[in-house]
């Protein structure tokens, strides 16, 4: 119990420092934003329950007991086989009693695919602004829309605190298949290992590369052939989805370079959005009606929404090459990626271009 109190005090101090740092650096309006973020994180910290203790409870439903035991196995694999910084991460569980843990707001100009970036003291500049309250996210999104931006708001089920806090397993992800849960844990832990402030594409592509290879190895070791097939099918559909969105993002970018008046530009933008929906409908037929991306395509498909997809995958080919050059050894891979992240921006961009 004393260790728990020490942990809570430590995390409380960290949250307080975050708020104080924010007050020192930003305007009054933004202080309110950081305060809600600190309160939201502290709610998670103080709601933690030890997973090992939960597994040992006799009255825990069998489904939850199996899921928690699986998470403990995933943690062990992440540390022993993937060399990820597990520590106390995902050793605790929090029931947050809502559908999503945070809601991210994305924005982009009406005629540009380049997203708006927000800069933070620790994470650097990223293409979203997160809120622990859906209503707060929607209110901020409405202000951006009034200013003429394309805006998209999406719920997020998990996130990484980049080692600032020990990350917990959240109730928002419990319904995921075991291999999806493993992928989530591998992905978020990878962010704690290598994180380049201000470069979302680098960070997310690296974490996705670790996630996919980690899941493949985890399933292979578990000898779950049916789940390997399911994971490969998921990743293949995701690849096709991303390819579709990326292709249309490039088409929108080409459109915005044309010398057109706003009326014509908006009409052609709408036509491209409709064409994108029709191409997705054709893709669904190839998937035998799989509906996993229907929710995404039910939205406006504006520039802000397009920006939420490509960053997770744009540099996957680059990291695949680096992984091969590291002899598929995770330790060597992490060392090389860390070295690349430390390069001056111009050198890093040239290296990425050369390897791709």
Please tell me what DSSP assigns to residue 257: T
d(CA 41, CA 73): 26
> Is 280 within 8 Å of 299 (Cβ atoms)?
no
Sign of CA dihedral 9, 13, 14, 19: positive
d(CA 9, CA 17): 12
Q: What is the pLDDT of residue 356?
A: 66
d(CA 104, CA 101): 10
| C-alpha gyration radius of the chain | 21
d(CA 119, CA 213): 31
What would the mean pLDDT of 20-45 be, rounded to a whole number?
A: 69
Give the model's confidence band at 27: pLDDT under 50 very low, under 70 low, under 90 confident, else very high: very low
Give SS3 for 108.
Answer: strand
Q: What percent of the chain stands above pLDDT 90? A: 71
Q: What are phi and psi of 298, to 5 degrees?
A: -80, -10
What would the mean pLDDT of 173-201 be, rounded to a whole number?
A: 93
Q: What are phi and psi of 47, to 5 degrees?
A: -95, 10
pLDDT tens digit string along 97-155?
Answer: 999 999 999 999 999 999 999 988 767 788 899 999 999 999 999 999 999 999 999 99
Strands (E), the chain: 49-50, 92-94, 102-108, 118-120, 124-126, 129-131, 150-156, 169-170
pTM of the model: 0.86
């Amino acid at each position: 119990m004393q260790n728990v109190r020490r942990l809570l005090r430590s995390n409380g101090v960290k949250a307080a420092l975050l708020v104080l740092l924010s007050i020192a650096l930003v305007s009054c309006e933004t202080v309110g934003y950081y305060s809600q973020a600190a309160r939201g994180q502290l709610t998670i910290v103080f709601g933690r329950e030890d997973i090992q203790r939960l597994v040992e409870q006799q009255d825990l439903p069998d489904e939850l007991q199996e899921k928690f035991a699986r998470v403990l196995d995933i943690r062990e694999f992440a540390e022993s086989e993937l060399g990820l910084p597990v520590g106390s991460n995902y050793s605790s569980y929090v029931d947050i009693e809502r559908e999503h843990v945070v809601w991210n707001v994305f924005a982009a100009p009406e005629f540009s695919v380049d997203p708006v970036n927000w800069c933070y003291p620790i994470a650097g500049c990223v293409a979203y602004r997160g809120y622990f309250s859906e209503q707060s996210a929607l209110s901020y999104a409405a202000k951006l829309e009034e200013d003429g931006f394309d805006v998209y708001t999406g719920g997020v089920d998990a996130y990484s605190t980049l080692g600032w806090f020990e990350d917990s397993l959240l109730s928002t992800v419990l319904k995921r298949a075991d291999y999806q849960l493993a992928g989530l844990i591998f992905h978020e832990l990878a962010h704690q290992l290598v994180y380049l402030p201000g470069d979302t594409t680098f960070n997310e592509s690296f974490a996705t590369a670790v996630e996919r290879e980690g899941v493949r190895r985890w399933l292979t070791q578990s000898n779950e052939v049916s789940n390997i097939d399911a994971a490969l099918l998921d990743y293949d559909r995701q690849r096709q989805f991303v390819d579709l969105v990326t292709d249309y993002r490039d088409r929108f970018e080409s459109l915005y370079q044309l010398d057109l008046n706003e009326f014509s530009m908006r009409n052609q933008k709408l036509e491209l959005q409709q064409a994108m929906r029709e191409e997705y409908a054709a893709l669904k037929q190839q998937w035998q009606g799989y509906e996993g991306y229907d929710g995404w395509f039910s939205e406006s498909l504006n520039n802000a929404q397009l920006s939420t997809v490509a960053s997770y995958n744009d540099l996957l080919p680059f990291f695949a090459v680096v992984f091969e050059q590291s002899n598929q050894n995770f330790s060597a891979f992490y060392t090389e990626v860390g070295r690349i992240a430390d390069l001056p921006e111009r050198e890093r961009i040239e290296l990425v271009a050369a390897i791709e």
